[in-house]
Amino acid sequence: MTSRLSIYTRIHKEGLVPLFYHGDGATAFQIAQAIYAGGSRVLEFTNRGADALESFSFLVKQVRAQLPEMAVGIGSIEDAPTAALFLAHGADFVVGPNFSADVAKLCNRRKVAYIPGCGSVTEIAIAEEHGAEIVKMFPGNSVGGPDFVKSVLGPRPWTSIMPTGGVTSDESNLKAWFDAGVVAVGMGSNLVKGEWVAAGDFARITAATTAAHAAIHAVRKA
């Protein structure tokens, strides 16, 4: 398991957390390979289907064997028992659509990075009181977008925000988020498009990941 300090450092450095779900483990690994080839060394597999655990378990085993530099997190986690289940199957970090004190306690006991979803300053403050180093602004396009980030960081410059939802690979979109002060962005269907996966066109995912990293680098440098 990758240490939580390494997870946080990697997310800050790369500025991008690709996320996806696929019920077939072999296909999920092909997606992970494509993301890896595009420059990412961290990804979030979302717990959004009946076959999520089986697919995730297969994915982690393949990543450990063939992509050892890749950290694999589990997303869409809302309760501690589910978090514990995926941790037992190799999750390097846990992401939630909301904040859960029980999940925070579990992850702190295990020294596992926990990135909870927050949509208000109060939720962010509570999450940070429970040890959250990075909070997931979710859904990013519905709770205020980049203006929300600016408003939070004004009085709370120590907060590290990662929006998911409303993030695209367009440089103008990424510029708006990073200029507002986010440390990273989560990107799902705009990076791992369903039609590309269905067609087996994983090279498109690699190209999109590469382009997203290049755009983030350019925005940060500017």
Q: Mind listing the pLDDT tens digit for each residue in 163-221? A: 999 899 899 999 999 999 999 999 999 999 999 999 999 999 999 999 999 999 999 99
Is residue 12 over pLDDT 90?
A: yes
Q: Are 179 and 146 in contact (CB under 8 A)?
A: yes
- Per-residue CA distances from 187 to 1, 64, 131, 216 (Å): 23, 23, 24, 12
Mean pLDDT of the chain: 97
pLDDT of residue 222: 82
Residue 32, pLDDT > 90, answer: yes
Task: Check whether 37 has a pLDDT greater than 90.
Answer: yes
Q: Which two tokens stand for residue 215?
A: 């755009």
* DSSP 8-state code for residue 162: E
Question: Are residues 127 and 116 in contact, defined by beta-carbon separation less than 8 angstroms?
Answer: yes
CA 95 to chain centre: 7
84: pLDDT strictly greater than 90:
yes
Q: Which amino acid is at 126?
A: I
pLDDT bucket at 1, cuts 50 / 70 / 90: confident
Return the sign of the alpha-carbon dihedral for residues 218, 12, 24, 65.
positive
For the segment 89-120, what is each residue's pLDDT rounded down to a tens digit? 999 999 999 999 999 999 999 999 999 999 99
What's the distance, CA 7 to chain centroid? 11
What's 164's DSSP letter?
Answer: B
Higher pLDDT, 140 or 146: 146
185: exposed, middle or buried (Cβ count in 10 Å: 0-12, 13-18, 19+): buried
* Band of residue 65 on the pLDDT scale cut at 50, 70, 90: very high
pTM: 0.97
Domains annotated for the chain, with CATH where assigned, are: 4-216 (3.20.20.70)
Q: In whole angstroms, how large is the CA radius of gyration of the chain? A: 16
All residues at 6 or more sequence positions from 203 whose CB lies less than 8 Å from its CB, including other chains: 34
pLDDT at 7 over 90: yes
% of the chain with per-residue pLDDT over 90 = 95
Structure tokens at 91: 């999750």
| Angle in degrees, 0-180, between the axes of helices 202-221 and 171-180, rounded to the nearest 10 | 50
Residue 157: what pLDDT? 97
Estimate to the nearest angstrom the gap between the alpha carbon of 50 and the chain centroid.
21
- Asked whether the CA dihedral 103, 133, 181, 32 is positive or negative, the reply is negative
pLDDT given at position 50: 94
